Amino acid sequence: MKIKSYRFELSCALWLACGIVSAAQDAASKAASAPGTVTPIALPTITAAQTSARKASYSITVPGSGDWTDAGFAVAAGETVSYGATGQLTLWDARASAPAGVARGWKDLLRQFPLDSANAGALIGRIGSADAAVPFAIGGQLEQTVPAGGELFLAANVPKEVGAQGSYKVSLKITAAKPVSQTTVSQATALFTPALLDGVPQRVGDAQGNPGDMVNFCIVGTKDAVEKAFTAAGWVQVDRTNNAAVLNGLMATLSKKTYTAVPMSTLYLFGRPQDMSYARGDAITVAFVRHHLRVWDTGRTAGGLPVWVGSSTHDEGLEKDQRNNGITHHIDPEVDKERDFIQSSFAAAGVLDAAAYITPKDPLHEAKTATGGTFNSDGNVVAMVLHH
């Protein structure tokens, strides 16, 4: 009863903490309406009170259903978790799978797995319950340094619509984290000033000069740090051309791997095309529904680090391109949700030193995309300083 009571109390504490952070983030975004306002965003953390009653080791049974199993406790950033797993699953096509999983077959390319990069049936994990959290492969054994705090979940990497028979027995040991320096955090927070957005246009444009999506995020960090941050947060750098997409899509298929690097259109800021293009989506629906963004180097620095800005939207399907009556992607008009998804994905990956909302001098609240679709915003730009 004590374990159940502890799990209930911990779940309530985590739910309340996440709710407070989410509400604070939403309130901060809406409150930062005065031009030039800078509103810090509280990054999710796990407190000592949440981990003090936790045991040093656990044994958990993970069924083959494909559903996420709540481990019943939270892990904090910097802690080390050692996983060991035994057991066997019988997959939907009668293949036997140990915790390491089995190689994907041709038919597996037509199914949606929780973690596309892992073997079928493999033991996988996830820290945090937010959609932005990225699952990771565990297999039979793994020693992991926790990138960001949150409640731990475990699952078998199988499509939920077919599942698998059997279960895995997972043993876990937790080692405490080293103290985190607050100096780095305060130095990062000091970089958040309205001057970060000086000289940055409000919107990107197409090749004909038609204004389009709004600039809604800013990143401070080296190019290497930016690329590593996107990778850690589950984003993929898309192919630049259709020819590259055909080739890479074919190679991925022949290797029995999924392909999610579908190209996106070229847009312009500072008179040039985007420097980077990233997307995040499910392999089965990525051609129509996905998170996607474009990034430009501003050529300026803050605290000695490069400053990048970009535009992000969420594709929800197709619609008519009002410029030429062709077909284009329809975006979610509430573009702030995609802006916040980027920040949440970075926070879940543990790559942020600090984050804040900055309200530009002339905030944009409503406009049309270059293809004629509408969007709305509270006008804030999310700024993020990466670990370096």
pLDDT digits (tens, 9 = 90+) for 8-66: 444 444 444 444 444 444 544 444 468 999 999 999 888 888 888 899 899 999 999 99
Which parts of the chain register pLDDT below 50?
Answer: 1-25, 27-32, 318, 320
pLDDT value at residue 186: 82
Which one-letter DSSP state was computed for residue 259? Answer: -
Residue for token digits 């680090």? 305
Are 338 and 291 in contact, with CB atoms under 8 Å apart? yes
Residue 88's DSSP bridge partners are 167
Rounded-to-integer distance, Cα 373 and Cα 318, Å = 11
* Distance (Å, whole) CA 346 – CA 270: 26
User: What integer pLDDT is reported at residue 110 of this predicted model?
Assistant: 84
Report the distance separating Cα 257 and Cα 262, nearest Å.
14
Q: Where in the chain is the domain with CATH 2.60.120.430?
A: 48-175
Terminal CA-CA length for the chain? 45
Q: Are strands 217-220 and 381-386 parallel, antiparallel or unpaired?
A: parallel
Q: What does the pLDDT read at residue 11? A: 44
Element (H, E) at 242: helix 242-254
* Cβ-contact 307, 193 below 8 angstroms: no
**Two tokens, residue 191:** 């970089």
pLDDT score recorded for residue 48: 80
Strand order across the 211-214 sheet: 211-214, 203-205, 268-269, 272-273
CB proximity list for 321: less than 8 A, separation 6 or greater = 327, 328, 371, 372
pLDDT tens for residues 251-293?
666 666 776 777 788 999 999 999 999 999 875 555 557 899 9
Reported pTM: 0.84
Q: Has domain 48-175 been given CATH number 2.60.120.430?
A: yes
